[in-house]
Chains A and B, each alone.
Chain A
């Protein structure tokens, strides 16, 4: 892990989030360093998605502070700036259903980054190559397998040249035989030094890529450790949870 003295690229400070009566985040504090890969695990409903969604302000938080790459998430302008720098990959892919794979990758480059079409398409082709589906540029999302859709979704986020990538259970909607192709892409990305915050229960991926793992429960980070430390943890709730995930 990189030195703590370096200014974190994501700084989360005592963030609380309520959904009506539900206290989804109960004072989460977390720093993520540049180039770090953080894997978050935890039972369903523990606030993992909510935390991730707060980082790019898809969810508003009720109190606390989040600063991304030196930009506090307070004004609407700052939020859009941060979103440009933070890529997000969803469990359900969320590819634009009315656009081809190519146009999925090109759209935001054009309207957000204001890149000319030719350049946007070049970036898109390069990324499709990278995620291993160069021949699907003209297909529509519905014509692709789940694994292919998720790889397109990753490429779409990367096309914006994000500094940070957030993954919210990127493989849990996939059939088992497709999980590896997506994890391989993520692993390659981690090895290139991308800052990544990943919610996932793929322990193989965590072991191979994570600098740090976080266990969340009931809206709090209850344990924070390297994969090796976490897997041999003596913490009662951690053991119980890992028991379930690791079978």
Chain B
């Protein structure tokens, strides 16, 4: 657990970068430091591993005042990843990742094993990459290696300063998704700096919103969106905060029941009866193994004898882990009223509709207002 108590930083030139900031980060939590450029996020973060000397207040890690620790020992137990990455160009990817293990004096075979393990965790082929040099990597690969290096010594705490900031949007989203998945298994205590509200909402368990060196609001993403403390927060999250909330909900949070389906071999007349009885006008079509094939609307049933003849095959699907804003955007851009949810083997898990999304959003907004 990390605790900041009245933390203050006045630079030698008199700039008051951080003013009396106090908050706590629980074990295994991902805390995002959010705010406009120059508000003191980086300064706050670097005071935790003492890259920037604190000028007032105290930072505790597991109850111990960090000022009393040996600074190099402190840093070896805190992973550190920055936007500029700063990989060592004279060392291979493997040696880069083994930096902290080497400093900690791990035996060589354990270091090597750690390097391979982390590359695999980052979705990189260790055989291919472990012997490469940083200059042979693409931006996305370098960023992954940077994160792997930060995790090298298996630190309980991770500091990340806009680690995905300098990457193209598509790669960034992919890295964020991968990173979330990794965090679900690793459960590190993470301080993550960003000025991007979308990234903050997507990744953060809690968000510390800063303004001109002060902490304005420290809350969960939902509370920040729907319970803004003041006008600054309201403006910062933006008028489209309702839509931003879709980012907080995943398909698995709202789609529970397995959906009614039809087999492609069934007769259309029988299906029409079923639809009328159940009061629905769309059904997902599956094969004998439960694999998703497409959808069939009531209006199409008259066009043929069997479902297979009249169904429209669909390529657009989502998984249980997809966030609702992606679902919403898929449905809008492909003109769909229903989006099938499949697992990794393309087996149908459920169906999500506009109505489900609307209900989920209303519920989230209400929860924010009352809680």
Are A and B bound to each other?
Answer: no
